[in-house]
Copies of this chain bind each other. A is one copy, B any other.
Amino acid sequence: MINETYPSKLLEQAVQELSRLPGVGRKTALRFALFLLNRPTDEVHALSQSLTALRDDVKHCRVCHNIADTDVCDICGNPRRDPAVICVVENIHSVMLIENTGQFHGLYHVLGGVISPIDGIGPGNLELDSLFQRVEEGGIQEIILALNPTMEGDTTNFYIARRLAHTGVKISVLARGVNVGDNLEYTDEVTLGRSIMARTTLTA
């Protein structure tokens, strides 16, 4: 639809705003808007209010910077979690993904991004100082770096490892290897190469 003509400015505005969402083009935005036009008023108000409330009222945990409804998030405030292990992640989504595995019982630290000079993001733009401070305060035995396996993730891993080298805290990264259930035929060379080098022993 090149020469779009909207029967209403309000519709056009709603389409305009909805099409900012990731992966939503003007066609999908129009579909959303026409769908909402046919829904009960209460439901549309509930959607609008939930978005405004999310943006305005959500808090960030003052310890790990994960989002929370309270000053300290449920994970940091849980006495059954192991405070000696901190998993460093890029964003909130990573926290949710790792929590869903059910395999991690320590605490988190959300950086809010990774070092990326090309995007103008340096160490100062991330929650790195607060991480180093948590380590300085003591009681931490291991830092797990769970950033995305990209160049920027690796740079950030290297930066953190160097800054924490003097503390003697153990620093680990996520295992890199072939995906569970994947086919070697479709695994890229770098991953396959690394998975051979980092092979694990089955028999003693």
Which single residue of chain B is at the shortest CB-CB distance from A1? B100
Q: Give the number of copies in the complex.
A: 2
Q: Mark A27-50, 1 if CB is under 8 A from B, else 0.
A: 010111111110101011111111
Contacts of A47 in B (CB 8 A): 17-18, 20, 51
A168 on the B face (CB < 8 A): no
- Decide if B58 touches A8 in the complex (CB within 8 Å): yes
Query: Which A positions have Cβ atoms within 8 angstroms of B?
Result: 1, 3-11, 13-14, 16-18, 20-23, 28, 30-37, 39, 41, 43-59, 66-69, 73-75, 91-93, 95-96, 99-100, 102
Contacts of A11 in B (CB 8 A): 54, 58, 67
- Decide if B10 touches A50 in the complex (CB within 8 Å): yes
Contacts of A41 in B (CB 8 A): 55-56
Contact of A73 among B7, B39, B53, B96 (CB under 8 A): B7
Q: Taking each of A4, A9, A16, which has the highest tally of chain B beta carbons within 10 Å of its own beta carbon? A: A9
Which single residue of chain B is at the shortest CB-CB distance from A91? B34
Query: What separation, in Å, do the CA atoms of A93 and B30 have in the docked complex?
Result: 9
A-B contact pairs, 7 of them (CB 8 A): A7-B67, A7-B92, A8-B69, A10-B50, A22-B31, A34-B93, A48-B52
Query: What separation, in Å, do the CA atoms of A126 and B56 have in the docked complex?
Result: 41
Which single residue of chain B is at the shortest CB-CB distance from A43? B20
Contact of A92 among B34, B45, B66, B73 (CB under 8 A): B34
- Decide if A13 touches B99 in the complex (CB within 8 Å): no
Query: What separation, in Å, do the CA atoms of A43 and B55 have in the docked complex?
Result: 10
- Decide if B5 touches A99 in the complex (CB within 8 Å): yes
Contacts of A100 in B (CB 8 A): 1, 3-5
